[in-house]
Amino acid sequence: MSFISLLWVLLLGSLLGLELIGKVPPTLHTPLMSGANAISGITMLAALTLIVKAEGNVPLLIIGSVSLGFALFNVVGGFFVTDRMLAMFSRKPSNKK
């Protein structure tokens, strides 16, 4: 991909992000933050790329692996913790009966 088209991707992605969140009720501020935070762990793909392309370079493999670990810690933990928070909201209607 050429640099210019990557810039387009950046621009459109930013606009999409700005557009997606209109009105957020304060209740959801924490879960939304934590969910978006989990998505930012998408750097795991970069770490994977690094490992795959390392071609036997051990220090690079290690750096990639550590980076992958940090990213997955972010992703897995982030989604789980968000789900735990949101489970408490969605439990409400069924309990009221």
Partner 1 sequence: MNLPVIIKFVIDLLAVLLLALGIKGLSKVKSARDANRLAAFAMSLSVIGLLSYYLGTSGIAIESWIWIIIGSIIGSLFGAILAKKVPMTSMPETVALFNGCGGMSSLLVALGVAIFPVSGGQENFDFFKSLINEVSISVSIFVGAITFTGSIVAMAKLQGWLSTPGWTQSKVRHFVNIVFAVASLIAFFDLINGNTSSIWLLVIVSSLLGIGVTLPIGGADMPVVISLLNSYSGIAAAAAGFVVDSQLLIVAGAMVGAAGLILTQVMCKGMNRSLVSVLFGGSLSAQSTASSGSAEYTNITSCSVEECALTLEAANKVIIVPGYGLAVAQAQHTLREVTKKLEQNGIEVVYAIHPVAGRMPGHMNVLLAEADVPYEQLKEMDVVNPDFPATDVVLVLGANDVVNPQAKNDSSSPLYGMPVLDVQEARTVFVIKRGMSAGYSGIKNDLFDLSNTSMVFGDAKKVLNDLIGELKDLGVGEK
Give residues 8-37 in contact with partner 1 (rule: CB under 8 A): 9-18, 20-37
Q: Residue 90, interface with partner 1 (CB under 8 A)?
A: yes
Q: What is the closest distance, in whole angstroms, from the C-beta atom of residue 58 to partner 1 in the complex?
A: 8
CA distance 52 to 57: 10
Q: What is the closest distance, in whole angstroms, from the C-beta atom of residue 12 to partner 1 in the complex?
A: 7
Q: What is the closest distance, in whole angstroms, from the C-beta atom of residue 97 to partner 1 in the complex?
A: 12
Q: Residue 97, interface with partner 1 (CB under 8 A)?
A: no
CA distance 41 to 30: 17
Give residues 67-86 in contact with partner 1 (rule: CB under 8 A): 67-86
CA distance 43 to 94: 38
Q: Residue 87, interface with partner 1 (CB under 8 A)?
A: yes
